[in-house]
Structure 1
Amino acid sequence: MPEGKPSQTNHPELWNPSAAVAWSLIFSPVFGAWVHAKNWAVLGEDKLHDDSMKYAYTALAVLIAINLLVTFDVLPELYGLPITAVLMVNWYFSAGRKQKAYLEKNQTLTYTQKSWLKPILIGFGSLIAATVINLALLSSPNTSYANTPLFEKNQNNYFDTASISQGNSHE
């Protein structure tokens, strides 16, 4: 549900829509669609807000599905990135550039830029959470990665306590 109606003045507080597109290259189109949805709510554009939120949820579901399919070897790894790129391009051309065009068309509407701290922290937090979940899934016995050590020992492992206690030198 939208958070608000347009400001009584022509100076609503918004996140820069072009910056949202740029940050989406790092955080995914889910991020950009969510930021744009929040902006649409402030602008009082309920339909565009709802459309952006639908895209955010759909893109999130697709990204989770891709992640699971790749993790459990149903989909080859090399398909993950192109599918994500298609999502990004699709979002940009179908909805991502609409907000910038809307603001350019309504030039009497000047907005105050909102701080990016909260959305960027949410974006990085989401990346960290996704990484933790991926590592947990990769260690699942149902994946081909389960028996792959993250760090392999080599002959020059100077931290091998068994060799040190036996008096072996590594010269």
Structure 2
Amino acid sequence: MESESQPESNVIKLWNPRAAANLAILFSPIFSAWLMAKNWQELGKPDEAKKSMTWVKIWIGFLPIYLLVVVLAPGIPMPFVYLVLLVAWYYKLGKKQITYVEETGIQYEKKEWGKPVLIALAVSVVWFMAAGVVGGAAGLANPPKEMMEAAALPVVNQLAMQTGMNATCSSVVITGESSKGVYNAVATMSDGSTLKIQLVLKGQQLLVNIL
């Protein structure tokens, strides 16, 4: 007489909580919070899953702001703000799942990392490409002072020749910004004399006026 096969008991399948939390450093907390939300669902904790998904939304909203501020206002310590949020997320939610699984002694089958890691890598590539585009656009709109000073030097030489000066320009130093896109500068000539000049940035064109 054949024995009837017994149905297999439901096995909890999780991504290792500690590894998921640590990967926040590499792939951002969006990745880790999403994995932990899925883990909480598997553990039968829908409220905790919702909390993790709330952090996913918080990070999705924060990272574009982080990128824009870092590029357009580098004086603001956004990396420090990012670090504070990362630590807050870890101690508020990330560590909670690690502790819960370890203290309850839950036996679980480890989920494979291949698919989520590949997705995270693809998203990271897109993120860095977007950062490059934003950074490049910001660089064109607001070129560094050193770049404007270098671009102004041959223009000053041309103006000096047109006005009959025998000296050539050896350096240009921006001393301040009088208004948006208008900079005061001093040109030092080869004979030791100096000229007060004005640099006007119009789009990608730099105009030089001798004052």
TM norm structure 2: 0.59
What CA distance in whole angstroms lies between the structure 1 residues aligned with 2:9 and 2:87? Answer: 34
The reply on whether 1:142 has 2:141 as its aligned counterpart is yes
2:114: which partner in 1? Answer: 117
Instruction: Please say which of residues 117-126 and 8-17 is displaced more in the overlay.
Output: 8-17
Q: Secondary structure at the match of 2:64?
A: helix
What CA distance in whole angstroms lies between the structure 2 residues aligned with 1:94 and 1:144? Answer: 41
Is the 2:20–2:35 contact (alpha carbons within 8 Å) kept by the matching residues of 1? yes
1:97: which partner in 2? Answer: 95
What CA distance in whole angstroms lies between the structure 1 residues aligned with 2:10 and 2:19? Answer: 21
2:186: which partner in 1? Answer: none
Mapping of residues 57-136 of structure 1, within 5 Å: 57-73=57-73, 75-76=74-75, 79-107=77-105, 109-136=106-133
C-alpha displacement of 1:85:
1.1
Please identify which structure carries the higher strand content: 2
Is the 1:14–1:42 contact (alpha carbons within 8 Å) kept by the matching residues of 2? yes
Q: 1:144 to 1:61 in 2, by over 3 A?
A: farther
Instruction: Report the AA paired with residue 18 of structure 2.
Output: S
Q: Calculate percent identity across the aligned residue pairs.
A: 30
Gapped regions of structure 2 (runs ≥ 5):
1-7, 148-211
Q: Secondary structure at the match of 2:66?
A: helix
Aligned residue pairs total 137
1:45: which partner in 2? Answer: 45
Gapped regions of structure 1 (runs ≥ 5):
1-7, 149-171
C-alpha displacement of 1:43:
1.4
1:151: which partner in 2? Answer: none
TM norm structure 1: 0.72
Q: CA RMSD in A?
A: 2.1
What CA distance in whole angstroms lies between the structure 2 residues aligned with 1:143 and 1:34? Answer: 37
